[in-house]
Structure 1
Amino acid sequence: MARSRSDSLLLPLDPGKPDFATERRLMRDGVPFVVGIDEAGRGPLAGPVVAAAVILDPRKIPDGLDDSKRLTARKREELFDIILKTALASGIASVAAPSIDATDILKAALEAMRRATCGLSILPAHALIDGRDVPRGLPCPGTAMIKGDQRSVSIAAASILAKVSRDRMMAQAGRHYPLYGLETHAGYGTEFHRNAMEIHGPVVGLHRFSFAPLKNREI
């Protein structure tokens, strides 16, 4: 899937807490619905990449929204339910490991973002996307925002939905494949996970064979 970097917003290295300023500016310019988009799971050796898209209600923005990486697991779980209850619309989509291997992780992440956005019950008028790339095939124009999950509460909300959804998927995978400890490391390349792959071998459909060390046949 092709991508575009033509509409990117470079942000400070430490943008601080996210707010609704970018969304309000767009709304003042006549944009009725602004969607925030983010993904989770680009780096792991196993499992899907998961993306979320969220249109927040300006009158019901949850307190405490932030980059999911800066929140505790308990806080993410708490905000996950609040976001789903208060948002005007939300969508979650994933792309599995075999599809990641068939393309690459960036294309897979952008495709997950596209699917999450196209699944919204409300048609967005503009998208704010965390990172450098705007997925092609969105139903609206988009702006890529570096560190967007630390600047826009809409993107922060999406980061929380994506992270919690993926963690739950990996916990479920851990129950099916108990030898790999997926519920504890969510598929990342911890020493335990790498040792488990070396002893028991990788799982087709779960592990990413295009990622090192599997790509380099070190295991």
Structure 2
Amino acid sequence: MQSADTLTAKGRQTREGIERAARKLFAERGFHGTTLADITSAAGKSSAAFYRYYTDKEDLLYSLAESFLHDVVMPSGLTVHLPESPEDTGFFTAVVTGYWNMFSQNIGIMIAVNQLADTRPRFADVQNEFRRFGIDMVAATVRRAREQGYAADVDPLLTGAAIALLFENFTVVSLRPSGLGLDVGDADAITTLSTIWRKTLYGN
């Protein structure tokens, strides 16, 4: 297999095409419903081309998940400032908008990782890294609210876990057909999640 660092321009283009096809198919069909042949066909590449970059479909998903986590998700937290006051609705809206857009564009990865996490430890580890990131961010806002005289009876870590997991499940269910009959637009989803988060801390 070739590493990303040694790829030619054509090689990068081939690899990106395979990854793009996988993201789309994982979002539509899930990991188990997508075959390696589906991915190479959608990318317009041969199986031989696939094996130049990945050992199998799981290796491809793991590479996508690690890249998403460390190159996209983690850096996004570096620019987040905590809410200035209960009236700082802009904080919640901005953070949730960034979250929603980020995960909308990568929902196939999240769906596939979720499907493998129960039986593949390395995917459980990646999933937990995603979750810890969300938990830590929410917990930090609980601590800020406490400094401001609010949320005295709210445990930062448990509340962080509750809200982060709520966000995760709401996002996964809302962004693909679920059979629940929910028609969730981006603006409604962002308003709903940011309101729940803010009111949990400030109660108004």
- TM-score range relative to shorter protein: 0.3 to 0.5
Normalised by the length of structure 2, the TM-score is: 0.36
Q: Whose relative contact order is higher, 1 or 2, with alpha carbons under 8 Å and at least 6 apart?
A: 1
**Structure with the bigger percentage of helix:** 2
Find the structure with the greater CA-based Rg: 2
**TM-score in terms of structure 1 length:** 0.34
* Higher share in strand: 1
